[in-house]
Amino acid sequence: MSFSSLGLSEQLVRATADQGYETPSPIQQQAIPAVLSGKDVMAAAQTGTGKTAGFTLPLLQRLAEKPRTGKGPRALILAPTRELAAQVHDSVHLYSRYVPTKAAVVFGGVKINPQMMKLRKGLDVLVATPGRLLDLYQQNAVRFDEVEILVLDEADRMLDMGFIRDIRKILGMLPAKRQNLLFSATFSNEIRSLAQGLLDNPVQVEVAARNTTAEKVKQSVYPVDQSQKTALLSKLVRDNNWEQVLVFTRTKHGANRLTQKLEKDGITAAAIHGNKSQGARTRALANFKAGEVRVLVATDIAARGLDIKQLPQVVNFELPNVPEDYVHRIGRTGRAGESGHALSLVSADEGKQLAGIEKLIKKQLPRREVEGFEPKNNLPLKPKAKADPSKARNSKPQGGKGRSFGPKPSGRNGGGRGRSGGQGGNRGQGGRSAQRTG
C-alpha cells in the first residue's frame, strides 16, 4: 500500500517521499481515509507509529480543497506540551511544502507579542497549548469562527495535566459545525467519556490493544537500592558505551540533582522539565540530538512529544506513579519500526508501582541484577496475592513482616522466571500553573 492509494494528493505524496516515507503505517492506513471522508475520528496508537502524519496529511488536503477567505485559523490542533506542539508544527511545515498553507505554533514559556504578530497575518493551521491559546483569545489576538477542523492530540495527557477546563472553554468558542479528531497513544475511561460529548458518530481506529507496548522494545528491570541508583546508571552508561540515553525522573528537582551528579561523574548530561525556559529546553534537546550530551534527564510532562530518531536507550531512573505513563516513556525508543531498549532501575519501595505496570501491560518484566549492586531487599516476582480471611488464623507469615518477595535469582544477570513486559509517569496536578507552562 502507498500513500497515493489512500487518496492523498500528488503534492502530499511527494512531501512524504521527501521525508523518506513510502509505505504508510497501520494507523495512517486507517486514519487518513477516515479523516479525508470528513467524519469525526477517534484514533489510538502506540507512540512512534506515525499518528501525527495520520491527521496532518489528510487535514492539509482538506484545507487545500477549499481556499482561505479570512484570517482566522481553519484548523486548530491542541497539544499538551511545548515540545509536542513544536513537533506537530514541524510536521505541518514539512508536509505542506508543496501546498499553499500558512501555519503557526503558540505555547507558554516565551513572549506573547511575537505570537500575536504572527496571528494577525492570517493562517490556515494553528498548533497550540490550551493555556497560551486562551491567553491569546482573551487579548483578542485570535478568533475561532473560521475553524473547520479540531484536533486533540495526546488527549489523555491533557486531562492528566488538568487542561479539561481550558479544553471545555475552547470547545464552547468553536463553531458547532466542524470536524473533530481525537488522537492519542492510549484512551482512558475519562477520554472515552470526553469523546462521547465531543465526537459525532466517530470512526474508531485502534491499531494496537489498549496500553500495550511496542513489540521491538526490549524491557527489563534492574533491582537496586535507592542509594545506589546513580552509581549503577553511571556504570551502565560507561560499560555499555551508551552515547545517547533518555532518563526519566518523577520530579523536576530529581532531574536537576541527577544531572548534576552525572556531570560530576564525568558524563555529559542535561535536564529538561517544566521549570526550564523554552530556550533552555530547546538547547538541551538540540545538544542531545547532536551527540554533544550523552544523557538527557526528563520528567514525564517535558518528555511528551520528544521525537528522537533511532533513540536506542530509555531508562526509568524512577518508576512513574501512573502506570500508563510507563507506556509513553518507553515509547520514546523503538519508534517507526526501530528496535530499542527500555530498562528500569527499581528499588524495593517501588514495588507497588512495578506491580501496577505489570498488571497494566499484562506482562512480567525480567529482573537483571548487576554484580556489586545487588539490593538488600529483593523485588517480588509477582504482585502479592490477597490473603484468604478463612485461612488467616492458621497460617504463619512468610518473610518477616509479611512482604512477599520472590526468591533471589541465582545468577548475577539472571531474572530466573522473568518474562518480559512495560510503561508509566507522574500525573500532573493541573491548575493554572500547569497550563501556563504548557
pLDDT in tens, 214-239: 566 889 999 999 999 999 999 999 99
Q: Are residues 408 and 427 in the same domain?
A: yes
Which of 299, 301, 298, 278 lies closest to 288 in space, CA to CA? 298
In a domain, 211, yes or no: no
Strand locations in 99-255 (E): 103-106, 125-128, 149-153, 179-184, 203-206, 217-223, 245-248
Distances from the Cα of 362 to the Cα of 209, 310, 385, 387, angstroms: 11, 26, 16, 22
Is residue 330 situated within a structural domain? Answer: yes
| pLDDT tops 70 at residue 186 | no
The average pLDDT across 51-71 equals 90
* pLDDT of amino acid 232: 96
pLDDT at 180 over 90: yes
Strand order, beta sheet including 75-78:
103-106, 125-128, 75-78, 149-153, 179-184, 41-44, 203-206
Cα angle: 245, vertex 278, 184; to 5 degrees: 65
Q: Which structural domain range is residue 122 located in?
A: 4-206
pLDDT of 396 reads 40
At 420, list the grid cell.
Answer: 518480559
pLDDT of residue 371: 93
**370-395, pLDDT tens digit by residue?**
999 999 877 765 544 444 444 444 44
On whether both 287 and 387 belong to a single domain, the answer is yes
Share of the chain above pLDDT 70, in %: 79
Residue reference for cell 479528531? 181
How many domains are contained in the chain?
2
One domain for residues 149 and 265: no
Amino acid, res. 104:
A
- Angle in degrees, CA 210, 30, 323, rounded to 5: 15
Higher pLDDT, 220 or 399: 220
What CATH number is attached to the domain comprising 238? 3.40.50.300
What is the DSSP-derived secondary structure letter of residue 362?
A: T
Residue 318 one-letter amino acid: E
CA separation for the pair 428, 81 (Å, rounded): 12
Amino acid (one-letter) located at 403 = R
Alpha-carbon gap, residue 150 to 179, rounded angstroms: 6
pLDDT digits (tens, 9 = 90+) for 115-147: 999 998 889 999 999 999 999 999 999 999 999
Domain boundary among 144, 171, 206: 206
Contacts 24+ apart (CB under 8 A), 97-105: 97/15, 97/18, 98/11, 98/12, 98/14, 98/15, 99/9, 99/11, 99/12, 99/60, 99/61, 99/64, 100/64, 101/60, 101/63, 101/64, 101/125, 103/127
pTM comes to 0.62
Residues 229 and 369 in one domain: yes
Q: How confident is the model at residue 84 (pLDDT cuts 50, 70, 90)?
A: confident
* Residue 90 located in a structural domain: yes
409 and 344 fall within a common domain: yes
Query: Does one domain contain both 197 and 233?
Result: no
Mention every residue, 6+ apart, whose C-beta is less than 8 A from residue 416: 367, 381, 406, 407, 409, 410
> For residue 403, is pLDDT > 60?
no
Who wins on pLDDT, 23 or 277? 23
Average per-residue pLDDT in the chain? 81
Residues 296-331: b if buried by 16+ CB within 10 A, e if exposed: bbbbbbbbbbbbbeebbbbbbbbbbbbbbbbbbbbb
